[in-house]
Amino acid sequence: MRPDTRRFGFLLFDDYPALPVSAMMDVLRDTAYVTGRYDYDWCTIGSGTNAVTAMNRLQTVTDFTLETAPPLDAVVVCSGLNGHLIKDANVVAWLRRLSTRNVSIGAVATGPWLLARAGLLDNRRCTLHWEDSHAFSETFPLIDIVQDLYVFDGPIFTCSGGTGAIDLFLHIVARDLGPEVSTAVGRQIMYSSVRDGTVAQPSIDSPYKMIRQRAVRKALKLMQDNVEQPLAISEITDRSGASQKQLQRYFKVYFGSTPQLMYREMRLDHARTLVRLTDIAIWEIAMITGFSTTSYFSKCYRDLFSLSPAEERRRASRFDVAPVER
């Protein structure tokens, strides 16, 4: 490896998302292709053993483990559905040691959970996959979390995952080697519209953006923005610009439901994320999502999801990928 080559280490955990990990490596590889130089080197690292299985069941044998990893210029924590459960003290200590050696440390998808537990996000801005954002905020209320595609804050960088990892690494190439090289790499991988980090992640209201009725879209946005401090339906109706009768009719046409039921389901969906991804007490989740009593919350939860919050928590301590049928 040349002395000026920058080496990235990709720390892989079971159920890591293959798409962003492969995308980041491919950007580095195609940078060499378009420049004819090896400005980057990269390797994979396992947290315990060399055997790691991706979320799509891809079997991976990593190049190194924590104990054998070579000197690195940057490390990227790559975790998927179970990122909120990773509390490995050895990994935390390893990341903290790297942070004292001027190593850039990043994370994609749910990887920021581990950076937060290592104390590396204290007094910093970060992002992570939208599905985890509410639970993450409840667990680490002092960390400034945003819904951006990716964020750089000093030597720490975070990314929401998915195709956002392509934009992140094309940005890194542009910063290191110039926009001409980054553009050439984007063209090579058929990626013509590189997004800035401040572009917002696809939001939960994306499916509703095609609804033609402006009052319905506005009502849904008000509901989504106020799942933890619910508004009265009358206030939502007034602020949507429709009468209560009109809004009831619109919701019946579009969803076969009522504004009241839709709003309650949104709050229960939010509650389900907190039940699955945090250790917050059930009674507290009920309060957070605007239910007057725990018993009423549990009844509504069971009616929608066919099991109680306590049963959900016991079953969902880990999201398992379905095994291959043979």
pTM attached to this predicted model: 0.83
Q: Is residue 125 pLDDT above 80, yes or no?
A: yes
* Confidence label for 166 from pLDDT (cuts 50, 70 and 90): very high
- Residue 317 is predicted with a pLDDT of 58
CA–CA gap between residue 143 and residue 173 (Å, rounded): 28
Mean local confidence (pLDDT), 225-233? 89
Cα–Cα dist 96/73, whole Å: 14
Contact 58, 18 (CB under 8 A): yes
Residues 261 and 142 in one domain: no
- In the structure, what pLDDT confidence band is assigned to residue 225 with cuts at 50, 70 and 90? confident
What's the pLDDT at 228? 85
- Report CA 131 to chain centroid distance, whole Å: 6
In a domain, 197, yes or no: no
Does one domain contain both 104 and 36? yes
pLDDT above 60 for 124: yes
Backbone angles phi, psi at 260, to 5 degrees: -60, -45
Predicted pLDDT at 213: 87
- In a domain? residue 183: yes
Report the pLDDT value the prediction gives residue 212, as an integer from 0 to 100: 82
The enclosing domain of 299 has a CATH number of: 1.10.10.60
70 and 168 fall within a common domain: yes
Confidence band of 103 (pLDDT split at 50, 70, 90): very high
Is residue 52, in this structure, part of any structural domain at all? Answer: yes
Residue 31 shares a structural domain with residue 154: yes
Q: Please report which confidence band the pLDDT of residue 326 belongs to, taking 50, 70 and 90 as the band edges.
A: very low
* 55, 178: one domain: yes
Cα distances (Å, whole numbers) of residue 219 to 14, 259, 260, 277: 40, 8, 11, 28
Could you tell me if 107 and 45 lie in one domain? Answer: yes
pLDDT (0 to 100) of residue 39: 96
Whether residue 115 is predicted with pLDDT greater than 70 in this model: the reply is yes
Tell me: do 228 and 180 sit in the same domain. Answer: no
Residue 319 reports pLDDT greater than 60:
no
Q: What pLDDT, on the 0 to 100 scale, is given for residue 206?
A: 56
Domain that holds residue 66: 6-188
- Mean pLDDT along residues 304-314: 93
Q: What is the average pLDDT across 288-314? A: 94
Same domain, 64 and 103: yes
* Residue in 71, 129, 121, 78 with CA at minimum distance from that of residue 96: 121
Average pLDDT, the chain: 91
What integer pLDDT is reported at residue 207 of this predicted model? Answer: 60
Q: Are 69 and 140 members of one domain?
A: yes
210 and 183 in a single domain? The answer is no
- Among residues 80, 81, 73, which one has the least CA distance to residue 28? 73
3-class DSSP assignment, residue 12 = strand
165, 157 Cβ separation under 8 angstroms: no
What pLDDT band is residue 224 in, cutting at 50, 70 and 90?
confident
The SS3 of residue 307 is coil
Residue 19 CB partners (closer than 8 Å, separation 6+): 162, 163, 165
What is the pLDDT, as a whole number, of residue 11? 98
The answer to the question of residue 199 being in a domain is no
Query: Does the residue 323 lie in any domain?
Result: no
Residue 267 located in a structural domain: yes
| Amino acid 203: pLDDT | 62
Mean pLDDT over residues 41-59, rounded?
93
Separation in Å, CA 150 to CA 83, 98, 210, 275, 292:
17, 21, 26, 26, 37
More confident residue, 224 or 2: 224
Structural domain ending residue among the three candidates 188, 215, 250: 188
Q: Element (H or E) spanning 314, and its range?
A: helix 309-315
- pLDDT at 192 (0 to 100): 84
Q: How confident is the model at residue 2 (pLDDT cuts 50, 70, 90)?
A: low
pLDDT band at 156; cut points 50, 70, 90: very high
Q: What is the pLDDT of residue 324?
A: 47
Q: Taking 80 as the threshold, does the pLDDT of residue 288 lie above it?
A: yes
- Kindly state whether residue 1 falls inside one of the protein's structural domains: no
* Residue 19 to residue 102: CA distance in whole angstroms: 28
* Residue 64 pLDDT greater than 70, yes or no: yes
What CATH number corresponds to the domain at position 71?
3.40.50.880
Has residue 320 got a pLDDT over 60? no
Whether the per-residue pLDDT at 110 is higher than 60: the answer is yes
Residue 324 lies in a domain: no
Residue 210 has pLDDT above 80, yes or no: no
β pairing state of 74-79 and 104-109: parallel
Q: Are residues 46 and 184 in the same domain?
A: yes
The proportion of the chain whose per-residue pLDDT surpasses 90, expressed as a percent, equals 77
The rounded distance, in Å, linking the Cα atoms of 29 and 137 is 35
Same domain, 102 and 241: no
Number of domains observed in the structure of the chain: 2
Q: What is the dihedral of CA 85, 159, 161, 220, to 10 degrees?
A: 90
CA distances from 317 to 136, 279, 322 (A): 16, 10, 15
* Interval 229-234 mean pLDDT: 91
